[in-house]
């Protein structure tokens, strides 16, 4: 039941954000740019474990992976602006982002960063 409640609350927040985005790109972008999934994950993690150390670790890990995730938001609109169909644009952006994550992890290891 708890898992269902978490899924329902998370889904409602995402649906609400997408509805706002349909009406206003700017307000939708502001709401969607909030780290809602990260916030929800931290809330659920803390509620489940009561361990602020795990929440801290998750927060630092999220911070480190923000950089490669920016690739998605560059590649998607570039593809769409060039006339690539939405589905293909989304797929290309996802693959590019996955590659960026892989390169980021390799670079972090070489620099001695612990992700």
pLDDT tens digit sequence for 43-99: 999 999 999 999 999 998 888 888 899 999 999 999 999 999 999 999 999 999 999
Among 103, 80, 104, 102, CA closest to 92: 80
Could you give the angle at the alpha carbon of 61 between the alpha carbons of 99 and 4, nearest 5°?
95
pTM over 0.85: no
């Amino acid at each position: 039941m708890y898992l269902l409640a978490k899924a329902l609350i998370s889904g409602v927040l995402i649906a609400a954000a997408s509805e706002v985005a349909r009406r206003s790109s700017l307000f939708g972008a502001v709401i969607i740019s909030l780290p809602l999934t990260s916030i929800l994950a931290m809330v659920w993690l803390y509620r489940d474990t009561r361990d602020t150390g795990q929440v801290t670790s998750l927060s630092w890990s999220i911070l480190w992976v923000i950089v490669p995730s920016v690739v998605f938001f560059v590649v998607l609109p570039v593809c769409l602006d060039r006339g690539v169909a939405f589905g293909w644009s989304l797929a290309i952006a996802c693959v590019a982002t996955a590659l960026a994550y892989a390169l980021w992890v390799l670079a972090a290891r070489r620099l001695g960063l612990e992700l």
